Structure 1
Amino acid sequence: MYKFSEKSKKKLETVDIKLQNLMNVAIKESPYDFSITEGIRTMKRQIELVAQGKSKTLKSYHLKGKAVDIAVWIDGKVTWDFKYYKEVADCIKRVARKLGYIITWGGDWKTFKDGPHFQIED
């Protein structure tokens, strides 16, 4: 069973309470450890990410505290291997269904696959 670092907790505190609940349950059930790398964002940060090609929109759910990005840890190191994000996403989706939350995983997007991204609908 995994748990969030203080750094992850601080980032998680910046987002919608449902998203906090979801991630706090999911970390305990996840097949791999993961951290929260981003919660709420400023427009300035969003503009930078679009300029870098790391985001495709200025209407990100991060701007309103409805999204988080994660990093999956394997053997003490962050991995960007999509297969691990898929397994963690499957866990997060299962937890969301149990809690009655509607979420979107960036890895399911057709054009811009964003494995670390999760957003919650109202």
Structure 2
Amino acid sequence: MSFGLSQSSRRRLLGVHPALVAVVEAAIARSPVDFLVTEGVRTPERQAALVAAGASRTRRSRHLTGHAVDVAALVDGRIRWDWPLYGRIAAAFKAAAQELETPIIWGGDWRTLRDGPHFELDRRVFP
């Protein structure tokens, strides 16, 4: 099954680094789980609010520079947060990134504050 990005997801990709946009587009086409982009570029105020709420631990998020996106799994048109869905989406992101030779980091691979919906460009290649 092949999915595509909605217009709202495309709007949320405005200002995101073109290399990451290409990975998102390739990932949605190969993902076995539909998803939408919930957030791309963030303002410093939004990031500060997420830190205050405990949803983020840094004010230096890659979202601030357009180097990160968050997604949400869609099952039967409804957002789902079941962890296994994000592993399947991540596999599509990783395969797309490898094909495009664009190194990415999945928040689900982090040792602390694992973040399944989060994908970012590897800062060693995209500072």
- The TM-score bracket by the shorter chain reads over 0.9
Counterparts of residues 70-85 of structure 1 (less than 5 Å) = 70-85=71-86
Partner of 1:3: 4
| Structure 1 ranges of 4+ moved more than 4 A | none
TM-score (structure 2 length as normaliser): 0.94
TM-score (structure 1 length as normaliser): 0.97
SS at match of 1:34: strand
Counterparts of residues 81-92 of structure 1 (less than 5 Å) = 81-92=82-93
What code does the residue aligned with 1:42 have? Answer: T
Q: Is the 8 A contact 2:51 2:57 kept in 1?
A: yes
Question: Aligned pair count?
Answer: 122
**Residue 13 (structure 1) shift:** 2.1
Counterparts of residues 1-122 of structure 1 (less than 5 Å) = 1-121=2-122, 122=126
Deviations 1:8-61 (A, max 9, x none): 001112200000111011111000110000000010000000111111111100
Q: Using the alignment, how far apart are the partners of 2:83 and 2:27 within structure 1? A: 18
SS at match of 2:3: coil
What code does the residue aligned with 1:89 have? Answer: A
What code does the residue aligned with 1:94 have? Answer: A
Q: Using the alignment, how far apart are the partners of 2:52 and 2:75 within structure 1? A: 29
Deviations 1:80-99 (A, max 9, x none): 11100011101100110111
Q: Using the alignment, how far apart are the partners of 2:91 and 2:78 within structure 1? A: 21
What code does the residue aligned with 1:7 have? Answer: S
Q: Using the alignment, how far apart are the partners of 2:108 and 2:45 within structure 1? A: 24
Unaligned runs of 5+ in 1: none
